[in-house]
Structure 1
């Protein structure tokens, strides 16, 4: 067994100190096709290794000021999963290893997350991780702020940035101070530390009179107020006041190109505020104004800004039912940057809703090819596979989504439903418990709990679960149908008919109509039962059971 000893202290290299050292050990001897398959993850963690990027987004070729898409906080989990798969697959050929890690308590959150993922996803017979001693180092924190921004290393940006700001005087270099404030505040928001971000914004307002900076922090304050992780603390009306300040300032910038970019950025932000206020038509108008500015005055610069605007307009078009225009805007965004995965995911979701399953599947699989391991892509592909009748493929995708992110609650919702439909009630109950631990009160999970309890003959518990599901979502047709089945078996035909009527009003399906026909027949209302069966046959002409019932 190979012995590897590494130091995880973030003061050595910052984020991915441990990962970089591990990759320095493994990459030189790894098969080139394996390295190429994980080029993004290896470059994020160890850019100095110079691994060629075979999967490239447009941002990689642009000057830094034009790279406006900052990765979200969840991206590091994708990177960690990709690195874990690289380590696992390499060790399968190279032989097992024992990794001793010192100073794990001093590691950046990226390395701490990586160790958790390695322990979860790499079999113990391939990689044994031994925790060595930890002691705080005396080196200063690493201040690689450009890298932190570009890669979305938000914890490092917050920690190192706050430390740097404590040693900076605004008057010594106002521009450098302002840029760092903007970056640190954005990082604090990304890791749910909005109060500290707001303090920075307020402090900056007290010191700076630079128009562009004041517009930027007004924009940041508005986004904080509409995106706050605590929904109870969101305030779209106050956000509107702040975003209007940003728009007022940037609309006065004298240079047309500079105004087109900064004002367009702020108009796009105001569109989100209007969406939160429920004013979708106004939001669409704002995004279209931003697109017009970009097309008129930006020339060949800021292509990412433009494609973001087109993708945002696509979302608003889809919400307005203007599907053809939405798909055209997604196509424009994707053609501008075919290496960026997120818009394939959004377009795939729209195609799925339209019933265009093959095209949706192609988009989801493109996400899987272009991105480090992405739980949402597998979750969405599972829905398409289920709709096409590929239950095994759907279950495999949901299993993989949970493997990539055990805290991804929607996967437990869908997987529990598949298990219940297959009669695997023990597995369904386990997923319900896991899902509700992450998302208490989720109506879909409560509905599956009702199915599980009903299958076990625990009628009272099943009814309580369905009641709780309907209290959380009064328009959940399967919960009405499940409760109707309980009433029918108890001989309460009136209750069953009332609940089935509510379900059918929400979602008219052949199965629900067939079930109501059975209840109507049992209640002696044969002609009404026949009418339901005739309608069920219209909806599903090939259903043999419906045909026999009519015969």
Structure 2
């Protein structure tokens, strides 16, 4: 382990003797082959949960049960979404890859409170750990103080025996991995299951569907595409072909690189899925599949810039869902939330709020809908109601960086700078790659004349995104305040090159030009900023530059505008 605890260091082999090191438990073998996800995490929880206070265990029930399902009898489910009790065909949501980071943060918080101070966790075979364990060990290293728990990770270790498990043994593991969002393991174990089943048979199809979905969720688009093609070659079942067409369409519609999304090809595939679904003989299966696929086409329409067409498709899917009775509640929840999003986009906030509320009523333990409704409420100026929804989202599941980020924005608008800074600090602690949190915190710190702290955030953010225009804008502001006008100009010029419509960059360059003695240039830049965003501080700054040029009447008009819009 290096002295920098912000990154995990995988060393060679463990020392022959541990000397005075106080090991929390015997050296853990992290190799993913025998157990899969959370090999280390589950062993750590098995060691700590039995002696932890019941209220602490209850506070992290989701995280503990996800990482160590064998502890379920000791950890009653306190927070549970409705899909936990649904049959397989009704569990349609696949957790995003970021869910494992949320779980890791929750486990780290539990460990921080439960572990005896001065402990050491030693792990071998770190180079072969499942990504869930790699992520967890990194979060533990970053979030649990070294005086509480030191984490030592070694690359080498004994090689476990080959995985000889039959398909019937692999299937429940793959199914669990998909339900929990352990996508790397789902893909790896699913490929083993495919190798041990006959192409085209029912078990093979179940492995194929899970594996292709996991690959797509991981951004491994070509591998997912190849597997969907294999499915089409191996099966003549219309349900399978409809599902493969939908899965292939979503690879384009949801491609992680927007520039590589082929929405025309996605439309062709989703139309095939819809055509097949409309011919299915079972009326309930037809209603569900057809509505599901139309919802997929709605996403394509939305990304084509046609929200009204997307809304019509979602509404037709909701009508079909009415034929399902009490079945497929998650499907109905998703459709209502999607319609709410589209209604809000099209200027119908009242109806959107009604749909979000109806979606929440279906599953009050699902955090995402609270977050979305909170954003709508915030946009409507209903800050107390939005705050309540953000905090409900925080309580509903493992630590959610987006909820803290959104609450920080709300607190900023209300002038609660200390609370906003605290929330942004939480976001960065939970997810050091959350770039917008650095941007916003740097801006708040700079506005509070805490320039050294602001510069640290700008530096950290630019290390992750060297040409981020928002960070460059704050850097330009800081360099101007420090009297380094040449460096300020370079930062602001690059910001405007990357984001010509960024009002803050124009405004800050106007301030720089005034400070450098170029009042005419300052007025020009500030005028452009005002065109883009009529903020009171922009009018006030332009008034100062206008007065320096002797344009008193214009300066007074800007001062009046600044007062009125404040």
| Residue of structure 1 in register with 2:191 after alignment | 162
C-alpha separation in 2, matches of 1:348 and 1:31: 33
Which stretch of the first structure deviates more once superposed, 351-360 or 244-253?
351-360
| Residue of structure 2 in register with 1:187 after alignment | 214
Shift of 1:439: 2.7
C-alpha separation in 2, matches of 1:100 and 1:301: 48
Residue 134, structure 1, aligned to residue 151, structure 2: no
| Residue of structure 2 in register with 1:125 after alignment | 147
Shift of 1:146: 1.4
C-alpha separation in 2, matches of 1:289 and 1:442: 41
C-alpha separation in 2, matches of 1:470 and 1:265: 43
The answer as to whether partners of 2:197 and 2:203 remain within 8 angstroms in 1 is no
Give runs of aligned pairs for residues 133-532 of structure 1, distance below 5 A. 133-140=156-163, 143=170, 144-171=173-200, 174-295=201-322, 297-532=323-558
C-alpha separation in 1, matches of 2:31 and 2:561: 68
The answer as to whether partners of 1:383 and 1:394 remain within 8 angstroms in 2 is yes
C-alpha separation in 2, matches of 1:397 and 1:4: 35
Give the TM-score normalised by the residue count of structure 2.
Answer: 0.92
| Residue of structure 2 in register with 1:546 after alignment | none
| Residue of structure 1 in register with 2:24 after alignment | 3
Which runs of 5 or more residues in structure 2 are unaligned? 1-21
Shift of 1:122: 0.9
| Residue of structure 2 in register with 1:28 after alignment | 50
The answer as to whether partners of 1:14 and 1:141 remain within 8 angstroms in 2 is no
C-alpha separation in 1, matches of 2:153 and 2:550: 72
The answer as to whether partners of 2:509 and 2:522 remain within 8 angstroms in 1 is yes
The answer as to whether partners of 2:371 and 2:389 remain within 8 angstroms in 1 is yes
Q: Deviations over 1:365-420 (max 9, x none)?
A: 11111111111111111111111111111111111111111111111111111121
C-alpha separation in 1, matches of 2:152 and 2:536: 58
Give the TM-score normalised by the residue count of structure 1.
Answer: 0.94
Q: 1:57 aligns with which of 81, 84, 87?
A: 81
Shift of 1:335: 1.1
C-alpha separation in 1, matches of 2:310 and 2:328: 22
| Residue of structure 1 in register with 2:9 after alignment | none
The answer as to whether partners of 1:361 and 1:381 remain within 8 angstroms in 2 is yes
The answer as to whether partners of 1:10 and 1:141 remain within 8 angstroms in 2 is no
C-alpha separation in 2, matches of 1:455 and 1:511: 16
Shift of 1:97: 2.2
Residue 42, structure 1, aligned to residue 38, structure 2: no
What is the CA RMSD across the aligned residues, in angstroms? 1.5
User: Using a 3 Å threshold, how does the CA distance of structure 1 residues 483 and 131 change in structure 2: closer, same or farther?
Assistant: closer
| Residue of structure 2 in register with 1:545 after alignment | none
| Residue of structure 2 in register with 1:111 after alignment | 133
